[in-house]
């Protein structure tokens, strides 16, 4: 069973009988959409999981150290070096992992704003990071996770060099 759940536990969590679950597993019965929805809820996964062909998924990205794609930024963030560390071409979730390095001329910038969730993991340096009306001091080993629709960014740079992993998660339209 998926998710380390026994057949009896899944049947109970899904609100279907163990015998019905057994017949579905053996291909003796085609479940209704309602039954598939109940099974998905019992497993804690979307119903679409039953229709995806996991064996044919070929999304895999390997980027060797120092070989990410450099993304040019202009304007106020021109001295923020963005190295794209990977990408996937399919699925409903768009993930952008970057290694961000502040170059010597980098200035604080607190007006980043975009859709999605953002995860930051600081590798070096010390900064004050602003999120909406809140400011926090962060350094190597610290992480932040937040809704990126609020204004955010580095408010002050205390210790250089500054580098961090930035991963943005958005749903594809």
* Domain boundaries defined on the chain: 2-52, 69-171
pTM of the model: 0.66
State residue 53's pLDDT score. 57
Determine how β-strand 80-84 pairs with β-strand 109-112.
unpaired
State residue 76's pLDDT score. 61
Find tokens 């010390």 and name the residue: 126
2-52 is classed in which CATH architecture? Orthogonal Bundle (1.10)
Give me the tens of pLDDT residue by residue for the chain, a chain 173 residues long: 345 567 777 788 888 887 887 777 767 777 777 887 888 787 777 776 666 655 566 677 788 888 888 877 666 677 898 898 988 766 778 888 999 999 998 999 999 999 999 999 999 999 999 999 999 999 999 999 999 999 999 999 999 999 999 999 998 76
69-171 is classed in which CATH architecture? Sandwich (2.60)
Own/partner contacts of 122-125, CB < 8 Å, gap of 24 or more, are: 122/162, 122/163, 122/164, 123/163, 123/164, 123/165, 124/161, 124/162, 124/163, 125/157, 125/158, 125/159, 125/160, 125/161, 125/162, 125/163
State residue 1's pLDDT score. 39
Question: Alpha-carbon dihedral of residues 102, 106, 108, 111, nearest 10 degrees?
Answer: -80
CA–CA distance, 7 with 12 (Å, rounded to integer)? 9
State residue 123's pLDDT score. 98
DSSP characters over 124-161: EEEEEEEETTEEEEEETT-EEEEETTS-EEEEEEEEEE
Determine how β-strand 80-84 pairs with β-strand 134-139.
unpaired
């Amino acid at each position: 069973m998926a998710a380390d759940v026994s057949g009896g536990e899944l049947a109970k969590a899904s609100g279907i009988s163990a015998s019905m679950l057994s017949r579905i597993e053996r291909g003796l019965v085609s479940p209704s959409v309602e039954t598939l929805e109940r099974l998905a809820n019992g497993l804690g996964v979307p119903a679409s999981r039953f229709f995806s062909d996991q064996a044919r998924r070929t999304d895999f990205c390997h980027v060797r150290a120092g070989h990410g794609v450099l993304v040019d930024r202009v304007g106020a963030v021109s001295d923020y070096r963005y190295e794209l560390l990977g990408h996937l071409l399919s699925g409903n979730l768009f993930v952008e992992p970057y290694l961000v390095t502040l170059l010597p001329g980098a200035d604080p910038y607190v007006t980043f704003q975009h859709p999605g969730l953002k995860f930051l993991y600081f590798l070096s340096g010390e900064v004050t990071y602003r999120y909406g009306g809140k400011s926090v001091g962060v350094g190597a080993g610290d992480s932040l996770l937040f809704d990126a629709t609020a204004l955010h960014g580095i408010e002050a740079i205390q210790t250089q060099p500054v580098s961090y992993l930035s991963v943005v998660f958005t749903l594809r339209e």
